Amino acid sequence: MSVSEMFAALQGALGQDQDIREEIRKVVQALEQTAREILTLLQGVHQGPGFQHIPKKCQKAREHFGTVRTQMESLKTKFPADQYYRFHEHWRFVLQRLVFLAAFVVYLESETLVTREAVAEILGIEADRERGFHLDIEDYLSGVLTLASELARLAVNSVTAGDYSRPLRISAFINELDSGFRLLNLKNDSLRKRYDGLKYDVKKIEEVVYDLSIRGLNKEATVGGGGEK
């Protein structure tokens, strides 16, 4: 084979690879748009009247996740099944965002932490990497850390809306979450930096709870039976 023939073959391989990346990019753009729609919908819970419409917003978000599952099915067909991590960087960010959104919906519904397996089911992908397109553990953990930041914001807005019991429940949840992360030996630099931000979320929520305490509103929240979820 001549040098020109060798490089012509290399160009063909590069072109094929670029075509795959372009197809992936198109589906990822659609996923990002759906994620923005879900986020916009859920942001309504931070507004005063939003607390009264949490069940409806969660139900609507679940419907959007149906679109996500369809888009994920399309994404799976765009690259060889054994090359997940070769192209992972293309969808890593949007997948972490979708994990956060799924976790936020589940928290709003039940005030519990969604499992990685449950998130994978919501998104229409696998939890086990041996079974193909899957939810990487680090992507799951990154989404959960974003949830912590969102709940810190929700704690503040709950007080503004007159819901004094919710910040107490959020505080208990975040402290339990923090304890869970302390059990992990995080090697990933990006994930480690994001975890370092969790302590600021904990501090922010503790300040909200302390403010309720000195104003005597934490007792009112307890007597009130814990408030509505």
Residues 6+ apart with CB under 8 A from 175: 202
Q: How many CB atoms lie within 10 A of CB 49?
A: 9
pLDDT confidence of residue 226: 45
Q: Name, in order, each residue with C-beta under 8 angstroms of 60's C-beta and a sequence gap of 6 or more.
A: 41
Q: In 3-state terms, what secondary structure has residue 228? A: coil
Q: Give strand ranges (E) for 14-109.
A: none
Q: Is residue 192 part of a domain?
A: yes
Rounded Cα gap, residues 55 and 149, in angstroms: 21
Joined together, the tokens standing for residue 206 give 């503790």
* 16 shares its domain with 106: yes
Please tell me the distance from the alpha carbon of residue 65 to that of residue 61, in angstroms, as a whole number.
Answer: 6
> Are 161 and 94 part of one and the same domain?
no
The structure tokens 């753009």 sit at 29
The residue from 134, 158, 180 where one domain ends is: 134
CA triple 228-167-55, angle to 5 deg: 35
Q: What is the pLDDT along the chain (229 residues), one digit of tens a residue?
A: 788 878 787 877 778 888 999 999 999 999 999 999 999 999 999 987 777 889 999 999 999 999 999 999 999 999 998 899 999 999 999 999 999 999 999 999 999 999 999 999 999 999 998 888 999 999 999 999 999 999 999 999 999 888 899 999 999 999 999 999 999 988 767 888 889 899 999 999 999 999 998 888 766 656 454 444 4
Domain C-terminal end among 80, 99, 134: 134
Judge whether 145 and 137 are in contact, CB under 8 Å. no
Which CATH number fits the domain that encloses residue 193? 1.20.58.200
Quick check: helix, strand or coil at residue 129? helix
Characterize 92-129 residue by residue with b for buried, 16 or more Cβ atoms within 10 angstroms of its Cβ, and e for exposed.
Answer: bebbbbbbbbbbbbbbbbeeeebebeebbbbbbbbbee
Residue span of the structural domain in which 16 resides: 1-134
Alpha-carbon torsion, ordered 134, 140, 141, 143, to 10 deg: 150
Does residue 7 sit in the same domain as residue 111? yes
Q: Residue 17: its pLDDT value, please?
A: 84
List residues forming the annotated binding site for Mg(2+).
150
Location of structure tokens 């339990």: 176
Give the per-residue pLDDT at 25. Answer: 96
15: domain CATH number is 1.20.58.190
- Residues 68, 19: one domain? yes
Are residues 87 and 179 located together in one domain of the fold? no
Tell me which amino acid residue 23 is.
Answer: E
CA separation for the pair 201, 215 (Å, rounded): 22
Q: Which three-class secondary structure string do you get for 164-177?
A: CCHHHHHHHHHHHH
Is 77 part of a structural domain of the chain? yes
The whole-angstrom separation of Cα 162 and Cα 211 is 13
Supply the pTM of this predicted model: 0.89
Binding site listing? 150
In a domain, 112, yes or no: yes
Total domain count for the chain?
Answer: 2
To which residue do tokens 């300040």 refer? 207
Evaluate whether 119 touches 65 at the Cβ level (below 8 Å): no
Claim to verify: residue 128 and residue 141 sit in the same structural domain: no
Residues 202 and 140 in one domain: yes
Same domain (yes/no): 148, 188: yes
